[in-house]
Every structure is written in structure tokens, then in C-alpha cells.
Amino acid sequence: MNALAERIAKLIAVEGPLSIAQFVTLCLHDPAGGAYGARDPIGRDFVTAPEISQAFGELCGLWVVQAWHDQGRPDRPRLVELGPGRGTLMADALRAIGAAAPQFLDDGEIVLVETSPVLRAMQKEKLKTFAADISWCERFNDSLADRPLFLLANEFFDCLPLRQFVKTERGWCERMVTVADSALAFALSPMAANPTLIPPTRAEAPIGGVFEFSPASLALTEEIARVVAAQGGGALIVDYGYDAPGFGETLQAVASHKFADVLSEPGSSDLSAHVDFLALAQAALAGGALAYGPIGQGDFLTDLGIGPRADRLMAANPKEASAIAAAVDRLVNPKQMGALFEALALAPKTAPPPPGF
Ligand code: SAH
């Protein structure tokens, strides 16, 4: 067992088995051993769209500008990014916003929501050349509720903690992490879960079927929707996920670009799960906003004009033309990230459909 596994085992000895959500939180955010708490996993374990091509962040920035225009350019807009990673998406977005709508930056403010001190330092460094009003906070909270909200979240919801329930002969039992034979192991709670936790659409699950849900994702989406509905603005959520939930489990560990065992080296791999876009859309409606999509990342970026943007970049950097084309293909091609990743947008009921949807 590594040091974090030993600490988790001690916690289990005192408090009993952990839910998958508690386990994921420790693996990702433990200040000493967590994948995000202690180091930067981006690039080492996995690569994200903004790290592949600058066009991704630029188009996200222009999406914000278009939505802001469509709503009559409200005063004092606030641009929030959830989980900004290395700050690359925000840097590319700010460059595009500064060129297309400098007034947005003069009048608005930027807030980055980031828990990891390591990544926060990288973001500060990356964004130090921008004159915009930029600040940081650890979580989305009420201080972000008093202005029009334009929110970006790429590969953020996939790393929010989720709970798992497995259909058994005695009902739906929660999947837990416990200790067996001196190692971390999965176990099912002996008591069946309260049936009201399980949506009626899951009633037909076969024995062994898994229901996953992320209370943190649903609560956060509803909160964002409330602000967007009350203040105006919009949210763009891009992630890998599904809009027709199955009965399989999607929690996965990735280390050095390869699948790894979820339990064996906690903190040394990135843990994530597929995003249930239908559930997020329902949470958005519950918060009083409209939800658009999800649509494939490839279609979304193509509609926003990634083709012409790539042409411009290639013309300006002829030596890198084939690398630029390959990077854009990776984002758009349905055999690569184009279909696996999807985009969901939230907008006020009174606003026109957001760009790309
Ligand atoms: N959006 C970036 C990074 C994706 S990785 C990109 O596309 O490259 C996930 C990011 O979310 C990291 O910055 C991580 O530190 C942050 N993060 C994960 N869980 C978080 C939480 N609960 N609150 C705030 N930030 C979180």
C-alpha cells in the first residue's frame, strides 16, 4: 500500500467503509497524496482539448462573446471557469475575447474556481500578462451569484465525486471501499439503499447493473442554472459522457495515458467517470434555466468555425501546418474526441439558443 492507501485504510478502520464519492475525493484532493492536491496530472496522465489546440479555448472565448452580445451586452459580466487546469483554455479565451469584445474584459471580471494549489500557481503564471481583473476561489459559491454569469467547464464534471449502486437480489446496494486481506477492496453495503434514491427508469436493471450518480455535479449544475436564470449569461460544459444512461460502471483510473487499477495506488492515477448529461440537463431545468444539447464536440466546434480558424493558423505558421491540422482533427474527428466528448449549454429561458446549439 502507498502512503495514501495506508491512511485511507486507517480511516476505514475507525469510521467503516467509505462511499466511492468519499474515496474519489481523497484520491483527487488529499493535500499530501491526491492526484490534484499534490501535483499536476495534466499531460502526465491525460491530455485535454485546450492542451491539444489553441483553437479550442479561442472558440470557447468567442462562444462567451456571442452569448453576451445575444443578450444585449449586459454590464459587469463575470466569466467563471471551473477547474482551469494549467490555465491554457482561459489564456486562449481571454486573447479571443480581448480581440472580439475588449469591453467585456474592461467592464467584467474573471474568476477561476480551483482547489489545487499546484495548478492555481500555474494558472497565475500563465495569466499574468492579461490586464483583466482575475481572481480565484476554491468552489462555486454565493459570491458568484450577483452578476451575469458566463461559465466554462472543460473536463471538470468528470472528476466530481460520484456514488455507485449495484442491483442485487436484496435491492440496490451502495458500492463501498473497505479493507480485505491488507488491501483496499470493493464491497457492497449490507443494507439496500432507500429506494427513493434510485430513479424509476432504473427499475428494470438486471442483477449486477450499476447506477451511478454524482450529487455534487447535480447540486452545482442547479446552482449555476439559478444564477444564469436570475442574472443572465450562460454556461458551456464540455466533457466525456453519455445522454442515454446504461447499466455499466464508468469510474476509471488513468495513469501515464493508460488505464490503471482504481484501488491499487490511490492518488497516483487520475480518477474520473463519464458525465450523465441527461441528469445535468434535468438539474439545469430544476434551477430555472434551459439546457441545450448535449451535442458532439466535433459538431459543436465545427459549427463555431474551427475549420476556418485552423486554416488561418496554418497560413500564419506554414511549418506547423500538418501539426495544426492533426490537432484539430483529434478534437473534431468522431473516431477521436469528436463524438466521445459532448457539449451541453445552459441559458436563460428568455435568451436565444446559445451559439453552436
Ligand atoms: N479544464 C482543464 C483541466 C481539466 S482537469 C483542461 O481542460 O485542461 C480538472 C481540473 O479541475 C483541474 O484543474 C483540477 O484541479 C480541478 N478540480 C477538480 N476537482 C475540483 C473541485 N472539486 N473544485 C475545484 N476544482 C477542481
Q: Which of 36, 88, 111, 236 to mutate to test the pocket of ligand 1 (most atoms within 8 A of CB)?
A: 36
Query: Is the CB of residue 345 less than 8 Å from the CB of residue 357?
Result: yes
Residue-wise pLDDT for 254-307, tens only, equals: 998 999 999 999 999 999 999 999 999 999 999 999 999 999 999 999 999 999
Mean pLDDT rounded to a whole number for the chain: 95
What is the per-residue pLDDT for 131? 86
User: pTM of the full predicted structure?
Assistant: 0.96
**What is the pLDDT confidence band of residue 85, given thresholds at 50, 70 and 90?**
very high
- What residues does ligand 1 touch, defined as CB less than 6 Å away? 36, 42, 48, 50-51, 83-85, 89, 113-116, 119, 139, 154-156, 159
**What is the pLDDT confidence band of residue 204, given thresholds at 50, 70 and 90?**
confident
Query: CA dihedral defined by 125, 92, 152, 296, rounded to 10 degrees?
Result: -140
250 pLDDT above the threshold of 80: yes
**What is the pLDDT confidence band of residue 202, given thresholds at 50, 70 and 90?**
confident
Query: Is the CB of residue 226 less than 8 Å from the CB of residue 287?
Result: yes
pLDDT, mean of residues 160-184: 96
Asked if the bond preceding 294 is cis, omega within 30° of 0, the reply is yes
Place of cell 477521436: 336
Phi/psi for 176 (5° steps) reads -125, 165
247 pLDDT above the threshold of 90: no
Q: Which of 159, 160, 223 to mutate to test the pocket of ligand 1 (most atoms within 8 A of CB)?
A: 159
What is the per-residue pLDDT for 232? 98
- Ligand 1 centroid to residue 116 C-alpha, Å: 8
- Gap between the Cα atoms of 94 and 92, Å rounded: 6
- Ligand 1 centroid to residue 225 C-alpha, Å: 20
Ligand 1 atom 21 nearest Cα: 115
- Gap between the Cα atoms of 163 and 306, Å rounded: 36
Place of cell 483553437: 55
**What is the pLDDT confidence band of residue 199, given thresholds at 50, 70 and 90?**
confident
Ligand 1 atom 26 nearest Cα: 83
Highest mean pLDDT among 34-38, 47-51, 130-134: 47-51
Query: Is the CB of residue 266 less than 8 Å from the CB of residue 4?
Result: yes
38 pLDDT above the threshold of 80: no
Q: Which three cell numbers stand for residue 228?
A: 444564469
87 pLDDT above the threshold of 90: yes
What is the per-residue pLDDT for 43? 80
Asked whether the CA dihedral 297, 100, 102, 290 is positive or negative, the reply is negative
Per DSSP, the three-state class of 323 is helix
Residues 6+ apart with CB under 8 A from 257: 45, 46, 47
- Gap between the Cα atoms of 274 and 168, Å rounded: 23
- Gap between the Cα atoms of 10 and 15, Å rounded: 9
- Gap between the Cα atoms of 112 and 195, Å rounded: 38
